[in-house]
Amino acid sequence: MENLQDDKHRDLSKNKSDGTNKFLTTDQGVKINDDNNSLKAGERGPSLLEDFILREKITHFDHERIPERIVHARGSGAHGFFEVTNPIPELTKAGFLQEKGQKTPVFTRFSTVAGGQGSTDLARDARGFAVKFYTQEGIYDLVGINIPVFFIQDASKFPDLVHALKPEPNTEIPQASSAHDTFWDFISLMPESMHMIMWIMSDRAIPRSYRMMEGFGVHTFRLINEANESSFVKFHWKPKLGTHAVVWDEAQKISGKNSDFHRQDLWDAIDMGNFPEWELGVQVIPAADENKYEFDLLDPTKLVPEELVPVTIVGRMVLNKNPDNFFAETEQIAFHPGHVVPGIDFSNDPLLQGRLFSYTDTQLSRLGSPNFHEIPINRSISPVHNNQRDGHMRQEINTGRVNYHPNSLAGGCPFQAKVSEGGFSSFEERIDSHKTRGRSESFNDHFGQAKLFFNSQTDAEKSHIVRALRFELGKVETTAIRVRMLGLLSQVDQKLAEQVAKGLGATVPPVLERPLNHGVSPENEMGDQESQTREQSVAASDALTMVKNPTNSATIASRKVAIICNEGVSEACVNNMKNALLKADAKGFIIAPHLGSLLTQENGAIPVDFSFLTASSVLFDAVYVPDGEELNALAENDDVSEFLNDAYKHCKVIGADGQASKVINAAPFASKINNDDDGLILTNEKGSADFAQEFIAAMGKHRFWEREVNLYN
């Protein structure tokens, strides 16, 4: 038996593969000359279907996981509607954008990208923001994320990006995290990723709620009007509640306290009638201005600054119904950027071109059938008539003998629709180019917009980026990878690189260090494609900072306040705060040492929502301590001390009414309190009429980052 096992081991070992000092090949053994660029009709032209290398690579990638999504596996969704507020018939003939007040049903799915279904909602990651419009002309899917750019410029590198980002294949560790060697090894060799790295290391990657994050279509698309005139367009979703995030320490603790934090937040908000809402905006660039800017509109690692092209609001989306069944709806919904309607078309963005092939292929693997469009959540409300038949899990019962076109036996039905009858027709863009694997020189600026993003941040936000990079690169074991990353960071901002290096106990290299990529000819070496950092026409943009972002609404609607109580609490203070919060569309929750109810100072009783065992500061937006009789017991309670200390460290509003200020003064952070801290609302006057309003006004400012000066400097 032992010999048989040895033979089996030897047989298995024959299947092992090591690519060291070997040429890159296709699955058929053909050596690959260029693995970094898809085959295009000209450097800025569309990708070609004949690119067997791209199709093989993406097909294999699309089928690597069954049935969970390879990316965006962990998600939440809801039903709602889109309403036109500013029709744009002069720009597009898309039927759902023609009339003011016109409503279209939607289903929106939010997600993390890297982690599996069982991972945490609070991973540092981009967030999927995909909207399915059930229009009268067919399905339109706007499939984006909460960041306006992406890591890579060409779809050929998407499998490599996700392979590097996912858990390392030898250990399947770490889950839902980019803080490991393979990810940063890839990034350190891909300078085109530096703009996205600035975004993903910022607080944008750890949103407070799905309801409080922006969404972007990422790519440049086309709008086509009735006169067949084309404009380029970028899509934006702007949240009614403003754009907000948590801090990294908070995110880590939320993951431990409630890994379903975002999923539950979305469900609870809709369940309580606090319907999430976003405005849909467009940046429209006339076709004549395609080459006007210092960046290329076809480059998915670039954005269009709002100072150059303002965002025009065209409508609003409201999510007002939770799914009836998570699997049947949220899990089985199938998005595809190629699901468009007349009036919306594609650009030659090489990442978008690859996605147009990839998504259908992915759905075939994940949902197991070419009939995934017949699953109820994916069905068009516009009638479907074609000659596609049969296949696994077919539900449509087609009558008649004809399943081909053209035909005479069925009178030629179903007919082709003329453009004037609503038939889809691709924009007739002139293409006159050589087939090539390459990239336009206009894609070569890898650092200009990374600088723009970093320069746009407030000091607190820059500090968070520094600490995020220290954390991520601090998890990297290979010194050479850290050094390469410091070299790339120095081309974004020298001070940024130096601050990160200080936390790593390293020094910034004098020049960018880049190893030879063995087996690739020098003319195709990505690193040898010199970055031509261009001066930006916009030096800084408030739209890129969360603190100054124009969408940063002062509303506290749907915010949660922890009200820390003990026996003998002042019922008058509690009710005054609760009522004031309700008027502001927020809600207070009673947190106490035990569940059940508390005897109040007035000999009444108030119910307890959470004990300190079932609640945590990180699950609330602010903390309030009302006056009462047993405040000394609260002041000496370690759970209360931890609760308040986290709220202070995370720069949240803390209030104490009447004598409750003694609880604050007993907290660990008391010695660090700055008298100018507007986020600490304290009064010695029990039940002050202005106290609740002052507390709510402070909550409208959301966070008080000045505290971090004392905490981290």
Looking at residue 491, which CATH number applies to its domain?
A: 1.20.1370.20
**Residue 631, domain member (yes or no):** yes
CA distance 70 to 91: 36
Q: Rounded CA gap, 161 and 152, in Å?
A: 8
Q: What are phi and psi for residue 54, nearest 5 degrees?
A: -65, -45
Is residue 518 domain-shared with residue 574, that is, in the same domain? Answer: no
Identify each DSSP E strand in 52-201 by its residue range.
Answer: 75-84, 103-112, 127-135, 138-145
Q: Is 275 in the same domain as 359?
A: yes
Give the amino acid at 667. A
Q: How far apart are CA 649 and CA 637, in angstroms?
A: 18
The predicted pLDDT at position 7 comes to 43
- In angstroms, rounded to a whole number, what is the distance separating the alpha carbons of residues 572 and 580? 12
Q: What angle do CA 281, 284, 286 make, to 5 degrees?
A: 170
Phi, psi of 185 (to 5 degrees): -60, -50
Residue 98 CA, distance from chain mean position? 29
What lies within 8 Å, CB to CB, of 256 at 6+ separation is: none
φ and ψ at 143, to 5 degrees? -105, 100
Q: Which domain holds residue 648?
A: 560-712
Residues 568 and 488 in one domain: no
In a domain, 30, yes or no: no
The residue count of the chain comes to: 713
Number of folded domains that form the chain: 3
Identify whether the C-beta of residue 258 lies closer than 8 Å to the C-beta of residue 264.
yes
| Residue 417 belongs to some domain of the structure | no
Question: What pLDDT is recorded for position 453?
Answer: 98
Q: Give me the residues paired with residue 215 across strands.
A: 237
pLDDT of residue 535: 87
pLDDT, mean of residues 65-87: 87
**Which of these three, 347, 378, 409, is where a domain ends?**
378
| CA neighbours closer than 13 Å in the CB half-sphere of residue 368 | 8
Residue 217, C-beta contacts closer than 8 angstroms, at least 6 positions apart: 142, 143, 144, 234, 235, 236
pLDDT at 618: 97
The whole-number pLDDT of residue 49 equals: 82
CA 8 from centre of chain: 46
For residue 225, is it within any domain?
Answer: yes
Q: What is the average per-residue pLDDT within 129-133? A: 97
Whether 201 is covered by a domain: the verdict is yes
Look at residue 10 and tell me whether its pLDDT is greater than 50: no
Nearest in space to 114 (alpha carbons), one of 183, 61, 181, 57: 183
State the CATH number of the domain containing residue 369. Answer: 2.40.180.10
Q: Which residue has the higher pLDDT, 712 or 187?
A: 187
Q: What pLDDT does 330 receive?
A: 94
Q: How far apart are CA 158 and CA 422, in angstroms?
A: 35
Give tens-digit pLDDT for 386-440.
888 888 888 888 899 988 888 899 898 887 888 898 888 888 888 888 989 999 9
Helix (H) or strand (E) holding 282: strand 277-286
Higher pLDDT, 490 or 372: 490
pLDDT category at 48 given cuts 50, 70, 90 is: confident
Residue spans of alpha helices (H) in 76-193 = 158-165, 181-188
pLDDT, residue 512, reads 57
**CA nearest 533: which of 138, 191, 78, 165?**
191
pLDDT score at 511:
66
User: Can you read off the two tokens belonging to residue 529?
Assistant: 């494609």
Query: Are residue 574 and residue 516 in the same domain, yes or no?
Result: no
- Are 585 and 632 contained in the same domain? yes
**Cα–Cα distance for residue pair 623/617, rounded to 1 Å:** 8
- 471 plus 617 within the same structural domain: no
What is the C-alpha to C-alpha distance for residues 56 and 75, in angstroms, rounded to an integer?
A: 28
Statement to judge: residues 573 and 505 lie in one domain: no
- On whether residue 636 sits in a domain, the answer given is yes
Distance CA 366, CA 252 (A): 31
Phi/psi at 399 (5° precision)? -100, 165
Average pLDDT over the chain, rounded to an integer: 90
In a domain, 530, yes or no: no
Is 397 contained in some domain? no
Q: Is the per-residue pLDDT at 568 higher than 70?
A: yes
CA dist., res. 375 & res. 332, Å (int)? 8
- The residue-averaged pLDDT of 63-76 equals 76
Listed range (30-39, 300-309, 615-624, 658-667) with the worst mean pLDDT: 30-39
Instruction: Indicate whether 146 and 218 sit together in one domain.
Output: yes
Considering the domain architecture, whether residues 239 and 356 belong to the same structural domain is answered as: yes
Distances (CA, A) of 612 to 574, 616, 654, 664: 18, 7, 17, 17
Using CA atoms, how far residue 472 sits from 56, 500, 548, in Å, is 32, 10, 26
Q: Whose CA is closest to 546, among 243, 117, 177?
A: 243
Q: What is the percent of the chain where pLDDT is above 90?
A: 71
Single out the residue in 327, 358, 378 at which a domain terminates: 378
The pLDDT tens digits for 328-384 are 899 999 999 999 999 999 999 999 999 998 998 888 888 888 888 889 999 998 888
Residue 120, pLDDT score: 95
Looking at the fold, whether 291 and 178 belong to one and the same domain comes out as: yes
- The predicted structure's pLDDT at residue 464: 97
How would residue 96 be classed by pLDDT, with cut points 50, 70 and 90? very high
Domain end: 378, 401, 428, which one?
Answer: 378
* Digit-coded pLDDT (tens) for 447-480: 999 999 999 999 999 999 999 999 999 999 999 9
Are 691 and 655 spatial neighbours (Cβ–Cβ below 8 Å)?
yes
Q: Do 333 and 378 contact (CB within 8 A), yes or no?
A: yes
588-639: pLDDT as tens digits? 999 999 999 999 999 999 999 999 999 999 999 999 999 999 899 999 999 9
Does residue 642 share a domain with residue 570?
yes
- For residue 521, pLDDT beyond 50: no
Give CA–CA dist 152/38, Å, rounded: 12
Calculate mean pLDDT across residues 544-565: 93
Are 596 and 571 in contact, with CB atoms under 8 Å apart? Answer: no
Q: Which two three-digit tokens encode residue 508?
A: 């910034």
| Mean pLDDT lowest among 140-154, 207-221, 457-471, 525-539 | 525-539
- Tell me which DSSP letter residue 66 carries: S
Q: How many distinct helices (H) and strands (E) make up the chain?
A: 18, 20
User: Do 463 and 596 reside in the same domain of the chain?
Assistant: no
Mean pLDDT, residues 310-318 taken together:
98
